[in-house]
Every structure is written in C-alpha cells, then in structure tokens.
Structure 1
C-alpha cells in the first residue's frame, strides 16, 4: 500500500500538470465548480512561495534526497504504523512529482489557487505528509511522557 500511495500521488500530480499545460496558457485563470476552485497556470522556477527563483534545478537534489532518506528510514524500520507510513508515502509522491517537473522542465507547474499562493497536487501531498509525520511525533512524545509520568508518580 505504501508504494501504491506514493505512485498514485506522483501519477495524479503529473496528469493534472499535463492537463494544465495542454489546456491553459501561463498566467491564464479558470474557475471550476461554480467558482469554488480557481486555477491559474503558473510556472515556478524556485521553491515554495516562489522563493529562490531561478534555482529550481538545485531542488532536484533536495527532492532525490528526501525520497532516498524516507525510503531508507522505512527500510530500517523507523516508519512503523499508519501515520508515519502514510506521511512518508505522501511525501515521496509529492517530492517525486515536483522533482520530475524540475528534471523535465527546470520549473514546477502550479495551478491551484489557495489563499494568496498557487500550488499543485504534489504540494498538497507534501503538506499532508509533513502534517502526518509531525502529528505522529507529537502523539509518540505525548505517549512517552504519559508513560514516564506514571512511573515517576509512584
């Protein structure tokens, strides 16, 4: 299931980006579902929130390192349980989607307007995966403190 989720995220991300590049011009906007979803085709040659513009190719290394690090952590048994496995799968899929864009085009295709930013499905997966891993760490820390506090109070 782990690899299926990671692959599904990367494939869905790439299919959506292919559709945006095929049917929209850079800078063009379109509203879907009675204006509930706004799409704007943007090409980001940097990182999150358009930081580091022009250095997108350097983030190929970051993407590959994230993917490799998570796969190694999983293989060594550091990612056990639903939250860390799901979080890592989402992170790998998102990193793969954006890294593939950087390898092929030197920039990432963004299209989903959210608040003041424009992102893509890979970015959403990266955020969700990070949130799941963070939540796992918080829950584990809480469990450990609860167990230790029980022993300390005796």
Structure 2
C-alpha cells in the first residue's frame, strides 16, 4: 500500500474512532449523569457515569496539566512516526489508528471538560469504570505486543569467537 493511502487510512480511522468516542461520551453525559448507573446485566455489567480527573484506575488525580502535556507529546510522536513511515507492518498501522483515536478522545475530554467521561462498568469483577477510548488504547497495546512477540525481526546472535572455537574443539 502506498504511504499516502496508508496514512489517510490511519488518520481517517483515528478520526472515526474519535467521533464514536465523543458520541458515546455525549450519550453517557446526557442519559447517565442523572441516574448514575444503569444495569445492562444486573450485577455483571452496568453503564455507570464517572468523571475521571486522573488517568487509568484514577492515578494522577488532579494532575490535569501533566496528563494533557504527556498525552500530547506521545500523540505528536506517534503522528510523526506515521508521517515519516516508520511503522512498516499493518499491525502497527492499526495500533497507531487505535492509539490516536483513544488518546485524542480522552485528551479532548481533559482539555474541554476537565475530566474524562467513563461509563463501562464490569461490576462483577469490580474493575475500574472505563470508556471506548480506553478500549482503543488497550487493543492498540495488545496489537503492539503481538507484533513484538510474533512479527518483529529478531537479530540473530552472532556466535562469539570463543563459542565457535568451543564448538569445533579448538582451544
């Protein structure tokens, strides 16, 4: 695939993910903020409105500026990597789209709402409440791990002179 077409695909996918994320968050604000929680499967999976002023699992509470700057720097680095065609594998292209979509989706919340809207609540396992953007970032991370484990070129270790002489019986 030509680099320009690939980059358009990556950025268009990211924009679509951002749009979905913002739509879901708008719906959560509109319909969940007054009810707080709505059980889809009672005791298992609820839609629960939470205003997260930190990062994952509520870490960095109250550090909005740090989170905005840190996220912005990471996203800009990723945009540069896409534009410079440093991502050579299709798995990394999709991971980039997911990272950009999720990262920018939560960044929009931090900048304009001063908190991130979370609403997906697996209460059966008492997991942290999260959102669609978080799902995108987690899937992107999984794709990068799959790439590293199964597709990244491994440099074969060159045998050292002592290892070669031991194998041949020379000393």
What TM-score does the superposition give when structure 1 sets the normalisation length?
0.86
> What 5-or-longer segments of structure 1 have no aligned partner?
none
> What 5-or-longer segments of structure 2 have no aligned partner?
1-8, 160-171
Q: Does 2:151 align with 1:135?
A: no
Partner of residue 6, structure 2: none
Partner of residue 128, structure 2: 117
Q: CA deviation at 1:26?
A: 6.2
Q: CA–CA distance in 2 between the matches of 1:64 and 1:144?
A: 31
Write out per-residue CA displacement over residues 26-79 of structure 1, whole angstroms, 9 at most, x where no aligned residue: 6711123x5464110000101110111111232111221121111111222211
Alpha carbons 2:32, 2:47 under 8 Å: kept: no
CA distance 1:71–1:109, change in 2 (3 Å): same
Pick from 79, 85, 95 the counterpart of residue 87 of structure 2: 79
Range with greater deviation from structure 2 (77-86 or 101-110): 77-86
Q: CA–CA distance in 2 between the matches of 1:27 and 1:108?
A: 18
Q: Which runs of 4+ in 1 moved over 6 A?
A: none
Q: CA deviation at 1:134?
A: 2.0
Partner of residue 144, structure 1: 154
Q: Does 2:99 align with 1:91?
A: yes
Alpha carbons 1:66, 1:92 under 8 Å: kept: no
Range with greater deviation from structure 2 (129-138 or 117-126): 129-138
What TM-score does the superposition give when structure 2 sets the normalisation length?
0.78
How many residues end up aligned between the 2 structures?
148
CA distance 1:26–1:57, change in 2 (3 Å): farther
Alpha carbons 1:91, 1:125 under 8 Å: kept: yes
Write out per-residue CA displacement over residues 72-122 of structure 1, whole angstroms, 9 at most, x where no aligned residue: 112222111211000011000000000000001111000001342100000
